[in-house]
Structure 1
Amino acid sequence: MRTILVANPSADVYGSDLQMLESISAMVGQGWRVVVALPAGGRLVPQMEARGAEVHIVDFPVLRRANASVIGVLTLARDGLLALGRMRSMIMSTGADLVYVNTVTLPWWILATRLARRKVIVHVHEAETEDSRAIRFALNFPLLFAHALILISRSTRDATTGSVPGLRGRSHLIYNGVDRAPAPRVRREIVENSPLNLAIVCRLSPRKAPDVAIEAVAILRGRGIDARLDICGTPFEGYEWFEKALRDRAAHADVAGSISFSGYVSPIWSALDAADIVVAPSLREPFGNAVIEAQLSGRPIVASRALGHTESIVSGTSGLLVTPGDPVALADAVEKIYSTPQLASSLAQGGRQSALNNFSSKRYARDIVGLIDSTVSGKRASTPEKARR
Structure 2
Amino acid sequence: MPQRSGPATVLVAHPGGELYGSDRVLAESVAGLREAGLDVVVALAGPGPLVARLEALGARVTVCRTPVLRKQYLSLVGLLRLARSTAAGLRPSWALLRATRPVAVLVNTVTVPLWIVLARLLRVPVVCHVHEAERSARPLLRRLLALPLLGARRVVTNSRFSEGVLLDAVPSLASRTQVVPNGVEGPSACVPPRASPDGEVRLLYLGRLSPRKGPDVAVAAVAALRDRGVPARLDVVGAVFPGYEWFEQELRDQVRALGLTDRVALHGFRPDVWPWLAGCDVLLVPSRTDEPFGNTAVEGALAARPVVASRTSGLLEATSGLRAARTVAPDDPDAVADAVVAIRDAWAHVRDDALADRAYAADRYSPTAYRRRVADVVAGVVSDVAPGVVRGSRP
Is the TM value for this pair above 0.5? yes
**Corresponding residue SS for 2:262:** coil
Measured in 1, the distance between the counterparts of 2:31 and 2:111 equals 23
1:221–1:254 Cα contact (<8 Å) kept: no
Q: CA RMSD in A?
A: 1.8
The residue that corresponds to 2:233 in the other structure is 228
Task: Quote how far apart the aligned CAs of 1:237 are.
Answer: 0.9
The residue that corresponds to 1:34 in the other structure is 40
Measured in 2, the distance between the counterparts of 1:104 and 1:217 equals 36
The residue that corresponds to 1:262 in the other structure is 267
Which of 241, 246, 261 aligns to 1:241? It is 246
- Percent identity for Structure 1 against Structure 2: 38
Aligned residue identity for 2:149: L
**Residues 1:68 and 2:74 aligned together:** yes
Task: Quote how far apart the aligned CAs of 1:57 are.
Answer: 2.4
Q: How does 1:8-27 map to 2 (within 5 A)?
A: 8-27=14-33
The residue that corresponds to 1:319 in the other structure is 325
Task: Quote how far apart the aligned CAs of 1:176 are.
Answer: 1.0
**Corresponding residue SS for 1:229:** strand
Which of 48, 51, 76 aligns to 2:54? It is 48
Higher relative contact order (CA 8 A, sep 6+): 2
Task: Quote how far apart the aligned CAs of 1:86 are.
Answer: 3.6
Aligned residue identity for 1:295: A
Task: Quote how far apart the aligned CAs of 1:316 are.
Answer: 7.1
The residue that corresponds to 1:386 in the other structure is none
**Corresponding residue SS for 2:234:** strand
Report the TM-score, using the length of structure 1 for normalisation. 0.92
Task: Quote how far apart the aligned CAs of 1:41 are.
Answer: 2.3
- CA distance change for structure 1 residues 352 and 70 in 2, over 3 Å: closer, same or farther? same
The residue that corresponds to 1:385 in the other structure is none
Aligned residue identity for 2:248: E
Which of 115, 121, 128 aligns to 2:121? It is 115
The unaligned stretches of length 5 or more in structure 2 are: 1-6, 388-395
Aligned residue identity for 1:174: V
**Corresponding residue SS for 2:267:** strand
**Corresponding residue SS for 1:302:** strand
The unaligned stretches of length 5 or more in structure 1 are: 380-389
Task: Quote how far apart the aligned CAs of 1:225 are.
Answer: 1.1
1:81–1:108 Cα contact (<8 Å) kept: no
Aligned residue identity for 1:209: G
The residue that corresponds to 2:162 in the other structure is 156
**Residues 1:278 and 2:290 aligned together:** no
- CA distance change for structure 1 residues 42 and 238 in 2, over 3 Å: closer, same or farther? same
Aligned residue identity for 1:341: W
Count of matched residue positions in the alignment of Structure 1 and Structure 2 = 378
2:9–2:40 Cα contact (<8 Å) kept: yes
Measured in 1, the distance between the counterparts of 2:335 and 2:322 equals 15
**Corresponding residue SS for 1:110:** helix
**Corresponding residue SS for 1:105:** coil
Measured in 2, the distance between the counterparts of 1:71 and 1:265 equals 34
**Corresponding residue SS for 1:365:** helix
The residue that corresponds to 2:177 in the other structure is 171
The residue that corresponds to 1:293 in the other structure is 299
Measured in 2, the distance between the counterparts of 1:370 and 1:72 equals 38
Task: Quote how far apart the aligned CAs of 1:48 are.
Answer: 1.4
Which of 367, 376, 384 aligns to 2:382? It is 376
